[in-house]
Structures are given as structure tokens and as C-alpha cells.
């Protein structure tokens, strides 16, 4: 009888915990959608900084964090004869994650090739503000000034969009937070340097 009561208590605690987690996700999902609507009508750095931080707390983030690496920003998708294909790909990425650097780059470049200048300018603006938002989180020179990162995809795209190449990468822990140290090469000058990224959000998402 005691054993069955113990099982019942465990189940009740689990259900309460699950309910609480669901409520938190719902609040963050709602805030994400509110920010998204505001950004689509009037993009701003403050709103996009908040969107990036809210995104990692949403249910959609948990669903998308382990998806495969999308095509790199060198715009290989434009090799398609039908430009609608990469445009659909871009919109699909942005539907899942509106902070996607790769998604906005793809939408910007495809729209430009299709003669949709206003649409291209819009995605270029969003791309520039997203890059600025990442720089606003730190300078990447040390763990204490690491860039806030939402995913490995974002790190790769961020580095590539600066005209740099990734040489190597390694993980480290400090004060219960996870960081990635990336050795980078400037393709123009040949200079080698390190950038640090705070990857705690994606590590925490993978725990559940």
C-alpha cells in the first residue's frame, strides 16, 4: 500500500511539474509571437535582442535545435533554375526561427534575384540588425565577453557572413555555463584569432 502511494505521489509531482513547464513555454511562445508581429511591422534592435533571448525559451526552439545544418550563406541554393525553391526554403526556416541568419540571407538574395527589391531590402535590414544584436551581447574575445548564441548553425553563419573561415572548435564549462571556443581565419588577411560563444541555451535545451 505504501509502495503504491509513493508511486501516486511521484506521478502527481511529475504532472504538476509538466503543467508548470507547459505554462512557461506557453508564456514564452506568446511573447515570441508578439515580438515577431512588432518586428515584421517595425524592426528594431531592442526587439530583436529580446526575440533572440525569448526564442531559446520556446517550445519551437526545443523542436528545432537539433535539426541538420542548413546550406551555408554562400547561396548555393541559387543554383536552382526555379528561384521559388530557395525562397520557400528561406520562408520555411524563418517560420521555424525568425532569428535565423541563414534564413534572412537566403530570402534577401533570392528576392533580389527575382527583382523583389523591397522584400530583399527588408531581409537585408533584418540580417544587419541580427548581426548587430549578436555584437551587442559581447565581443567574443574571451569567455567573460562571449557572444550569446542560439545554435551552432547561428555561430557558423555569423562567422561566414564576416568573411571568415572556421579552423577548429572546442567546448569548455565555467560557472555552470557552456562555451564554444572557435579558432578563426580571416580569409582576406590570413590572420588567426579566437572567438568565444555562450552556448548554454542549446546545451540546456538538449537536456530535456
- Range list of H helices, the chain: 2-41, 45-55, 59-64, 84-96, 101-113, 117-136, 152-161, 200-205
**Phi, psi dihedrals of residue 149, rounded to the nearest 5°:** -120, 140
* pLDDT digit string, tens, across residues 90-149: 899 999 999 999 999 999 999 998 899 999 999 999 999 999 999 999 999 999 999 999
Residue with C-alpha cell 550569446?
A: 148
pLDDT at 69 over 50: yes
Q: Quote the pTM value.
A: 0.82
CATH topology of domain 137-208: SH3 type barrels. (2.30.30)
Residue 21, pLDDT score? 63
pLDDT band at 205 (very low <50, low <70, confident <90, very high): confident
Amino acid at each position: 500500500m505504501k509502495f503504491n502511494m509513493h508511486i501516486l505521489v511521484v506521478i502527481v509531482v511529475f504532472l504538476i511539474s509538466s503543467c508548470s513547464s507547459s505554462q512557461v513555454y506557453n508564456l514564452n511562445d506568446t511573447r515570441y509571437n508578439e515580438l515577431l508581429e512588432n518586428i515584421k511591422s517595425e524592426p528594431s534592435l531592442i526587439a530583436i535582442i529580446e526575440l533572440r533571448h525569448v526564442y531559446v525559451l520556446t517550445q519551437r526552439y526545443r523542436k528545432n535545435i537539433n535539426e541538420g545544418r542548413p546550406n551555408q550563406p554562400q547561396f548555393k541554393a541559387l543554383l536552382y533554375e526555379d528561384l521559388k525553391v530557395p525562397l520557400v526554403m528561406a520562408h520555411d526556416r524563418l517560420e521555424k526561427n525568425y532569428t535565423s541568419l541563414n534564413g534572412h540571407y537566403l530570402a534577401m538574395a533570392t528576392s533580389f534575384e527575382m527583382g523583389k527589391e523591397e522584400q530583399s531590402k527588408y531581409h537585408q535590414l533584418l540580417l544587419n540588425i541580427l548581426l548587430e544584436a549578436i555584437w551587442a551581447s559581447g565581443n567574443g574575445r574571451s569567455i567573460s565577453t562571449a557572444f550569446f548564441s542560439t545554435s551552432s548553425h547561428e555561430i557558423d553563419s555569423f562567422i561566414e557572413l564576416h568573411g571568415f573561415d572556421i579552423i577548429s572548435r572546442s567546448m569548455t564549462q565555467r560557472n555552470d555555463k557552456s562555451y564554444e571556443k572557435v579558432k578563426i581565419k580571416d580569409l582576406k588577411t590570413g590572420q588567426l584569432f579566437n572567438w568565444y560563444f555562450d552556448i548554454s541555451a542549446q546545451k540546456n535545451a538538449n537536456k530535456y
